A and B are shown apart, each in its own frame.
Chain A
Amino acid sequence: QKEVEQDPGPLSVPEGAIVSLNCTYSNSAFQYFMWYRQYSRKGPELLMYTYSSGNKEDGRFTAQVDKSSKYISLFIRDSQPSDSATYLCAMANAGKSTFGDGTTLTVKP
């Protein structure tokens, strides 16, 4: 079993929809929780991070962490075609980040 499991997708939604991306993890030692966005033929770039349970909001993006359930989510409100990308969850401990396999999102105009 992988340490980090991510809902595989792909997801295709109309512009303006609310998107929910989800990951579960098994390693209780993970301390930091991150979401990266990866456009085609580019490297991943950090979108959001948090280290505590609860919600963190940044514009149209909300990251949610539930440590008791070992579950994290990323919500995208009012999705735009420019949000079309692969989203990777990542969890870190002691300098190492472990990534989910990614969910590819397409937002159609």
Chain B
Amino acid sequence: DAGVIQSPRHEVTEMGQEVTLRCKPISGHDYLFWYRQTMMRGLELLIYFNNNVPIDDSGMPEDRFSAKMPNASFSTLKIQPSEPRDSAVYFCASSLGTGVSPLHFGNGTRLTVT
């Protein structure tokens, strides 16, 4: 199994531009999570999906952020327009069920907005 695959690994963009982050979860996993990690705020849950349906998006910071999961093998996190304070590492994770099922994280996308 290739694990959770995220692309791109690094993204540098200018303020105001649209950014799209991509994630391929582990095949068969029915939960998908988007997290953001910064030095100041640690690892924050942005949104999670169950069977492609968004369950809780209360962590999405504002309307500039949106996430979709059109099928079981693909999800996107979009920021439009991007701002310098969005600079962070964005992680996608998937799991099989909840509770004691571990989260399997990708290696993240390091986003820098100048």
Footprint of B on A, CB under 8 Å?
Answer: 31-32, 34, 36, 41-46, 49, 51, 88, 92, 94-102
- B1-41: CB near A (< 8 Å → 1, else 0) gives 00010000000000000000000000000010100000000
Tell me whether A92 and B98 are in contact (CB under 8 A): yes
Main SS of chain B's interface residues?
A: strand
14 contacting pairs across A/B (C-beta < 8 A) = A42-B108, A43-B105, A43-B108, A44-B43, A46-B104, A51-B99, A88-B43, A95-B48, A95-B50, A95-B55, A95-B99, A97-B33, A97-B103, A98-B45
Tell me whether A43 and B56 are in contact (CB under 8 A): no
B residues in contact with A97, CB < 8 Å: 33, 45, 103
Tell me whether B45 and A45 are in contact (CB under 8 A): no
Tell me whether B42 and A95 are in contact (CB under 8 A): no
State whether A101 and B42 are in contact (beta carbons under 8 Å apart), knowing that A94-B98, A96-B48 are contacts in the complex: yes
8 nearest interchain CB pairs? Answer: A43-B105, A46-B102, A101-B42, A95-B98, A99-B43, A43-B107, A44-B105, A43-B106
Cα–Cα, bound, A101→B91 (Å): 15
Cα–Cα, bound, A98→B59 (Å): 11
Closest Cβ of chain B to A30, distance in Å, is: 11
Footprint of A on B, CB under 8 Å?
Answer: 4, 31, 33, 42-43, 45, 48, 50, 55-56, 91, 93, 98-100, 102-108
Cα–Cα, bound, A46→B94 (Å): 12
Closest Cβ of chain B to A93, distance in Å, is: 9
State whether A34 and B31 are in contact (beta carbons under 8 Å apart), knowing that A88-B43, A95-B48, A97-B45 are contacts in the complex: no
B residues in contact with A88, CB < 8 Å: 43
B residues in contact with A32, CB < 8 Å: 99-100
Cα–Cα, bound, A77→B33 (Å): 32
Cα–Cα, bound, A47→B87 (Å): 28
Contact of B91 among A34, A43, A46, A94 (CB under 8 A): A43
